Amino acid sequence: MSDVHSLERDLLAAIANAGDEAALEEVRVSALGKKGSISELLKTLGGMNAEDRKQKGPLINGLRDKVSGAIAARKSELALAALNARLQAERVDVTLPARPEPRGSIHPVSQVLDEITAIFADLGFAVAEGPDVEFDDYNFTKLNIPPDHPARQMHDTFYLAPQADDSQHLLRTHTSPVQVRTMLKQKPPIRVIAPGRTYRVDSDATHTPMFHQLEALVIDEQTNLGHLKWVVEEFCKAFFEIDTVELRARPSFFPFTEPSVEWDMRCDRSGGQTIFGTGHDWLELGGSGMVNPHVLEMCGIDPSRYQGFAFGFGLDRMAMLKYGAPDLRPFFESDIRWLRHFGFAALDIPTLDGGLSR
Ligand code: FA5
């Protein structure tokens, strides 16, 4: 029976050395397959006499059971090892960010523009647009600033070469011509904002040749200065993300509004940082007023029936104030370090419910 014992030793060693399931299967077939070494031994039992069979039967059957058991055990060992190797290879570090940080960012002016649009949409205003290259007539004359009016001097205008028909084009010096465009094509009630690019020959820490304004226009039958104040107040609360604001109205002059009012908002600059809503300082917001009846008339709206208000604020100035940028010029210099510092995450879209600036 030494051949049974040596076969057992050889087979158990081969099973232990099988490095993967394919090698193990080879050992199984060589031992327990149709022509395998153990199957051949089992076949010899039939030709034995009863005495030999009684003696060798349990030995050979025992060998078969032992080898089958060893194969099954090795098989699950190999399966576990394969699984562990796969888990190791496919390991995911869940502490890593899901995707790389986006590399671009939203410019503070675009951010402020989105914030303002969200605020005014909530107040029921539509967004109106006009071109950057504007007619002199819309930028000035229909706003009650005729060709020889001194107010033209204050606008430091970029003029384009005169047209063949002698009409004059210019880069709009304010967003107020969008008032004209809106009134010429839309009948009251009118409730629009017109944010956009504007141009003046001007450059210092708080003035740039290209800048942005936010225009608002409301025309209806009963609209009055109280409504104007309320809208400015609600806008400031939402924009500066504070619960109370205190406004100061200063008399002013614009040819296209009568009376005209400049608005300041209470703030505190004592600590070197601007805190909105409290304190002893005032922050300038911009100009406004009741639309001059003469402008309504020139834009085809009956001033005996309709009246309304308009305001025009500096949008870049508002971005400077809200986000603490001390100088306006870098806004338009495309310095990547400035943009990284003052930019906003691309997917944080400002909404009133979700938060404007987060
Ligand atoms: C106007 O332009 C009027 N159209 C505003 C208005 C509209 C009044 C409707 C009444 C009714 P003003 O020239 O003051 O007004 O300019 C408005 C704002 O634009 C200023 O308060 C300032 O914040 C901003 N601004 C003016 N010039 C520049 C500039 N060069 N760079 C940056 N911001 C400027």
Q: How many helices (H) and strands (E) does the chain have?
A: 11, 10
| pLDDT per position as a tens digit, 105-142 | 899 999 999 999 999 999 999 999 999 999 999 999 99
Task: Tell me: pLDDT of 275 over 90.
Answer: no
The CA 200 to ligand 1 mean position distance, Å, reads 10
Average pLDDT, the chain: 91
Task: Tell me: pLDDT of 358 over 70.
Answer: no
| Nearest in space to 162 (alpha carbons), one of 178, 177, 143, 147 | 147
Task: Enumerate residues 6+ apart whose C-beta is below 8 A from 313.
Answer: 213, 214, 285, 286
Query: In this structure, which residue's CA is closest to atom 30 in ligand 1?
Result: 207
Pair 279, 270: CB distance under 8 Å: yes
pLDDT number for residue 217: 98
Task: Enumerate residues 6+ apart whose C-beta is below 8 A from 187.
Answer: 301
Q: Span 174-197, mean pLDDT?
A: 97
pLDDT number for residue 35: 92
Task: Tell me: pLDDT of 1 over 60.
Answer: no
pLDDT number for residue 148: 86
The CA 195 to ligand 1 mean position distance, Å, reads 12
Is residue 196 in contact with ligand 1, taking CB distance under 6 Å?
A: no
The reply to whether omega before 102 is within 30° of 0 (cis) is no
Which atom of ligand 1 lies nearest, measured to the CA of 155? 13
Query: In this structure, which residue's CA is closest to atom 31 in ligand 1?
Result: 207
Is residue 197 in contact with ligand 1, taking CB distance under 6 Å?
A: no
Query: In this structure, which residue's CA is closest to atom 26 in ligand 1?
Result: 314
pLDDT band at 205 (very low <50, low <70, confident <90, very high): confident
Query: In this structure, which residue's CA is closest to atom 5 in ligand 1?
Result: 312
pLDDT band at 357 (very low <50, low <70, confident <90, very high): confident
The CA 286 to ligand 1 mean position distance, Å, reads 6
The partner residues of 214 in beta bridges, in order of sequence, read: 195, 313
| 146, amino acid identity | P
Q: Using DSSP, state whether 327 is helix, strand or coil.
A: coil
The partner residues of 213 in beta bridges, in order of sequence, read: 196, 314
Q: Say which DSSP state 142 is in.
A: G
Q: Using DSSP, state whether 68 is helix, strand or coil.
A: helix
Is residue 200 in contact with ligand 1, taking CB distance under 6 Å?
A: yes
The CA 299 to ligand 1 mean position distance, Å, reads 22
**Please, what is the Cα angle at 314 between 199 and 151, to 5 degrees?**
60
Q: Using DSSP, state whether 330 is helix, strand or coil.
A: helix
φ/ψ (deg, to 5) at 302: -75, 110
Pair 75, 24: CB distance under 8 Å: yes
Is residue 289 in contact with ligand 1, taking CB distance under 6 Å?
A: yes
| 302, amino acid identity | D
**Please, what is the Cα angle at 185 between 184 and 187, to 5 degrees?**
90
The CA 215 to ligand 1 mean position distance, Å, reads 9
Which atom of ligand 1 lies nearest, measured to the CA of 202? 30
Supply the Cα-derived Rg of the chain in whole angstroms: 42
Of all residues in the chain, what percent carry a pLDDT higher than 90?
Answer: 70
Higher pLDDT, 274 or 245: 245
Which atom of ligand 1 lies nearest, measured to the CA of 200? 30
Pair 67, 31: CB distance under 8 Å: yes
pLDDT number for residue 168: 86
Structure tokens at 211: 């800048």
Which atom of ligand 1 lies nearest, measured to the CA of 328? 32
pLDDT number for residue 312: 97
- Ligand 1 pocket: which of 134, 156, 174 to mutate (most atoms <8 Å of CB)? 174
Least trusted range by pLDDT, from 10-19, 27-36, 305-314, 338-347:
338-347
Is residue 207 in contact with ligand 1, taking CB distance under 6 Å?
A: yes
Higher pLDDT, 303 or 45: 303
Terminal alpha carbon distance of the chain:
85
pLDDT band at 78 (very low <50, low <70, confident <90, very high): very high
Is residue 144 in contact with ligand 1, taking CB distance under 6 Å?
A: no
Higher pLDDT, 306 or 323: 306
Distance from C-alpha of 97 to C-alpha of 146, rounded to nearest angstrom: 61
| pLDDT per position as a tens digit, 13-42 | 999 999 999 999 999 999 999 999 999 999
Q: Say which DSSP state 207 is in.
A: B
Q: Span 263-286, mean pLDDT?
A: 89
pLDDT band at 206 (very low <50, low <70, confident <90, very high): confident
Is residue 152 in contact with ligand 1, taking CB distance under 6 Å?
A: no
Which atom of ligand 1 lies nearest, measured to the CA of 174? 2
